[in-house]
Amino acid sequence: MFDTKFAIVVRDDLAVWQKLNVVAFLATGVAAQFPSLIGEPYRDRAGNIYNALSIQPVIILSADQPTLSAIHRRSLERGVQTSLYVEEMFSTGHDVLNREVFARFAPDDAKVVGIALRADKKTVDKITKGAQMHK
């Protein structure tokens, strides 16, 4: 049904609250990159209006640190823009500090805890190779 795939990969050793936090942050990054990914608002039978949601399913995967580093590297090699969350962002409290701590790292030393991307299905599958469906 979709020519693209929307995938988020989180590090498998994170606490549940950290995984959920990372997935939420990364999903907003992809939605910001692709505004057409967001559908129309929802309306229930009583006429209440709810926020619009993604028109496309989001695949949640997990991987260990070396696999996440490889996924990060492959995304850069293929020129696929991603949303990225590094471990040190857990110690900050807001966006300005997140960006400050993020800027201290390069791809070779970033402790990636999550990455999200949306691209052609085959490209996403190649980039996320080694990650497993999250359980």
- pLDDT (tens digit per residue) in 76-129: 999 999 999 999 999 998 999 999 999 999 999 999 999 999 999 999 999 999
Rg (CA), the chain: 16
Q: Which domain holds residue 111?
A: 4-133
pLDDT at 9 over 90: yes
User: pLDDT by residue (tens digit) across 31-71?
Assistant: 999 999 999 999 999 999 999 999 999 999 999 999 999 99
Beta bridge partners of 8: 60, 116
CA 11/CA 122 separation, integer angstroms: 22
What is the number of structural domains in the chain?
A: 1
The reported pTM is: 0.94
